[in-house]
Amino acid sequence: MNLKLDQLDQIFVILNNWLLGYLPPVVRPLCSSILAIALILVTFALLFAITTVLERKGLGRIQNRFGPNRVGPCGFLQPIADGIKSLTKEDIVPNPADHVVHFLAPVLLVAAAFMAYAVLPIGRNMILVDMNAGVLYFFAIGSLMELAVFMAGWSSRSKYSLLGAMRAIAQMISYEVPLVLASIVVIMQSGSLSTVSIVNMQATYTGIWPHWFVFTPWGFAGFALFMIAATAESNRSPFDLPEGESEIIAGYYTEYSGFKFALFFLGEYIGMFATSAMAITLFLGGWSAPFSFLTWIPSYFWFFAKLLTIILTFIWVRGTLPRLRMDQLMNLAWEFMLPMTLLNLLTAGVWHFMPAGALRWLICGAMVVVPCILLSRGLKQRKKFQVRKYRFSE
């Protein structure tokens, strides 16, 4: 019984080895990589398709309407219709646009988004490359997406596109600082930049409880800060100023049409999944089960269960919160998130050097909660609420 479950857990690894057994040894590494890359591309593109339906239906429910319900059972084949539609649409490139850069921008965006998956452990022994510097690689690849956004906005030669790109880059740079600083606490605690060893450290249990980093004061604060920064990084509501439909049409991809437009959507969602998967890897124990008696369920199931939970939270947040203003966005990043992440680093250090026990929990918990309350109170008091004067609209 136990052996069979273990086989189910490792089924993709076993299948991979079985298929490669038929090939000559010279081409095996190459074919192994191609197979794994193809699997990642298909799986996450499919997840993107499912997420678009879930998002539209979920938002529909929140806004008291139906959402898509015509194509297929309960509208679940909608992404196929969407795909055919965007593939058959005319690809319009504005005349003054910079054609080469205009073409390269969506390609770079999608390629960079998919490259991030190389270091994400999807299940036990299921990772494309176990790099020593995995986390560093992830953030290095993430910075390529900013360049793609700039290329899209600049090459379109449109005011809306340029405004959207400027907003997007300002936002992505600002939130990259708390994103990286929030994940450093995990690197400090685990002493490794490799995603595999970070997950392995969390996949142990005391009684029935796992050792996920989110179940510590610094881990919880780090996870919350990481998720807020991740929402902003992936330009999602309430941080969707770069593509605020009511203000600047679609932001940096206003001038794109047809499948290039769909590629921007794809890149954005794939990037969002990648950051969520990184949050899972760093704080939520990667593929490990939430209780020790549930470890018989395959590891990849837990990974995707956690990923879907985070996606549903993203949809819920999008349906609930209003969009921030630009100055509020920047203030949140620099005046609240940055001091909190720096304090969180200190908390992680204190946690590391104190003996285990209730006192450690008390002190570290206070080190997170008290500054959070004081900081938000202080920032709120400085704001004078009054009728806002707009320079250009009167």
Partner 1 sequence: MNVSFILLAIITVVGTAAAMGMRNAVHCVLALTVGLAGVAALYLQLGAQFVGFTQIMVYVGAVAILAVFAIMMTHSPEPAKPPTFSSFWTVGSVVAASVFAVLAWAIHSSSLAAHTLPPQPEVTVQQIGDALMHRFVLPLELMGLLLTAALIGAVVIAMNHREEIK
Q: Residue 237 or 344: which CB sits closer to partner 1? A: 344
**Residue nearer to partner 1 on the CB measure, 307 or 337:** 337
Q: Which is closer to partner 1, CB of 98 or CB of 247?
A: 98
Please identify, using beta-carbon distances, which residue of 38 and 173 lies nearer to partner 1. 173
Burial of 188-213, coded b for 16+ CB within 10 Å and e otherwise, reads ebbebbbbbebbbbbbeeeeeebebb
Please report, for residues 174, 237, 239, the alpha-carbon distance to residue 60 in angstroms, rounded to integers and kept in the order given.
32, 15, 20
Minimum separation from the CB atom of position 159 to partner 1 (A): 10
Provide the binding-site residues for partner 1, judged by CB under 8 A.
98, 101, 131-133, 136-137, 139-144, 146-147, 150-151, 154, 157, 162, 165-166, 169, 173, 176-177, 191-193, 327, 331, 334-335, 338-339, 342
Provide, rounded to whole angstroms, the least separation between the CB of residue 193 and partner 1.
Answer: 6
Question: What is the nearest approach in angstroms of partner 1 to the Cβ of residue 161?
Answer: 11
Q: Rank residues 80 and 100 by Cβ distance to partner 1 and give the closer one.
A: 100
Residue 267 makes CB contacts below 8 A (sequence gap 6+) with 106, 109, 110, 112, 113, 145, 148
Kindly state the smallest distance separating residue 383's Cβ from partner 1, in Å.
10
How far is 99 from 81, CA to CA, in rounded Å?
Answer: 29
Whichever of 82 and 243 has its CB closer to partner 1, that residue is 243
- The minimum distance between CB 361 and partner 1, in angstroms, equals 27
123, β-bridge pairs: 126
E strand or H helix at 209:
strand 209-210
Between 334 and 361, CB nearer to partner 1? 334
State how far the Cα of 213 lies from the Cα of 288, in Å rounded to an integer: 12
243, 255, 261, 249: which is closest to 157 by C-alpha? 255
Sort 45 into a burial class: Cβ within 10 Å, 0-12 / 13-18 / 19+: middle
- Assess contact for 311 and 51: CB atoms under 8 A: yes
Q: Give Cα separations from 14 to 9, 28, 117, 126, 287 (angstroms).
A: 10, 15, 21, 11, 18
CB of 320 to partner 1, least distance (A): 28
Minimum Å gap between C-beta 67 and partner 1 is 37
